[in-house]
Copies of this chain bind each other. A is one copy, B any other.
Amino acid sequence: MTASSRRFIRSDWIIVGGSAVLVAAAGFTRFVGAGSTLAFVCAGLAVALLAALVGRSVEQLGDRFGAGATGVLQSALGNLPELFIALFALKAGLVLVVQAALIGSILANLLLVLGCAFTVGGALHGPQHIDSERARSTTVLMLLAVAAMVVPSLASYVHTPAAPHEDMLSLVVAIILLLLFVLTLPGSLQRKPAGDAAEQQEAPRWPLAIAAGMLIASALAAAIVSEWFVDALEPAMRTFGISDAFAGLVIVAIAGNAVEHAVGIQLAARNRSEYAFSVVINSPLQIALVLAPALVILSRLLGYAPFTLVFPAMLVVAVTIAVLIAAFITWDGESDWSEGAALLALYAIIATAFWWG
């Protein structure tokens, strides 16, 4: 085995190669058959694989600075593809799609991926334990961040005097949430990863220059392909008669998180439920703490359709149900496949309710 073969393992080649092929396919179908379903599918798959490539590059870059740094980099950059999609969608005026996609990412993690992970893990390995102090701590932070994120919505529904000031309130909340993210960064840096995550930790394989270059290249590609994806989204919605809310909540949310989802389920299949759970529960925290506030601020700086944290009420209802149930599951400490099936059922039911968007 040569040094180079140790530097790039098989999954690296698959992700890099697959990204290149799919970006090419997405570019080709876009210019040949713009507006076609095929162009949409190619762009969606390319975005998903580029998200994986960004994640892998961050991992390789961060690993040389320790587990904490990886976590921080992932918090800051891991949602980059989702951020690009959201910004292009805002540019196109698809505010509802973006709001639904944000909440949909949380739902997809807490109901769909957790449901799959429990079902697969439970079926293969029997009841799984998720009893770390850390999972509970992350869940409390997630509850707090999501609660803070939905306050402007709740104020807008029921607190008449605040309703005309929803823009200002969203901005204040965004700034406080970002501040909270920055303040808690040092804590995340010191925090040790969950038990079996530590074993998982490997030495960085990629040379620094390659890791950094790959991160920049994949981020750039993600930015470009995200625009293609958003461009192809509207024709696809019209073709299949899909509402804005459903498109955001289900399609964009799943495309933007596809690889994270695959990883979570894969970890559960390998009986690493503890780690799978911590990956899944961390994502909503980052969406509430980084992605949503960033969109509020960037949409104003870039002059796009102003993004506020006043979500349609049903999105708030859905996210409230999801975070509460996830919290009780964290405290339960044990999961079996019937809980997984029930999570999937709940996801299907909520998605159905949004079919009429």
Contacts and interface: CB of A to CB of B under 8 A. Distances in A.
Interface of A: 133, 136-137, 139-141, 143-145, 147-148, 151-152, 154-155, 158-159, 161-162, 164-165, 169, 172-173, 176-177, 179-180, 183-184, 187-188, 243, 245, 312-314, 317, 321, 324-325, 327-329, 331-334, 336-339, 341-343, 345-346, 348-350, 352-357
Given A144-B325, A172-B352, 8 more contacts: A141-B338, A147-B346, A152-B353, A154-B317, A158-B312, A161-B357, A177-B345, A184-B341
Contacts of A176: 345, 348-349
Contacts of A245: 161
B140 A345 contact: no
Contacts of A188: 338
Identical copies in the complex? 3
Given A140-B328, A140-B339, A328-B143, A180 B314 contact: no
Contacts of A143: 324-325, 328
B345 A154 contact: no
B317 A158 contact: yes
A177 B352 CA distance: 13
A154 B314 contact: yes
Contact of A158 (B314, B334, B336): B314
Contacts of A187: 336-338
Given A137-B334, A336-B187, A151 B341 contact: no
Given A152-B353, A159-B313, A353-B151, A144 B336 contact: no
Contacts of A337: 187
Contacts of A243: 161
Contact of A314 (B155, B333, B334): B155
A338 B184 contact: yes
A346 B148 contact: yes
A312 B157 CA distance: 12
A159 B338 contact: no
Nearest to A344: B180
Q: Which of A136, A337, A353 has the most CB of B within 10 A?
A: A353
Contact of A339 (B137, B159, B169): B137
Nearest to A179: B345
A-B pairs with lowest CB-CB distance, top 5: A158-B313, A159-B314, A144-B342, A155-B353, A184-B338
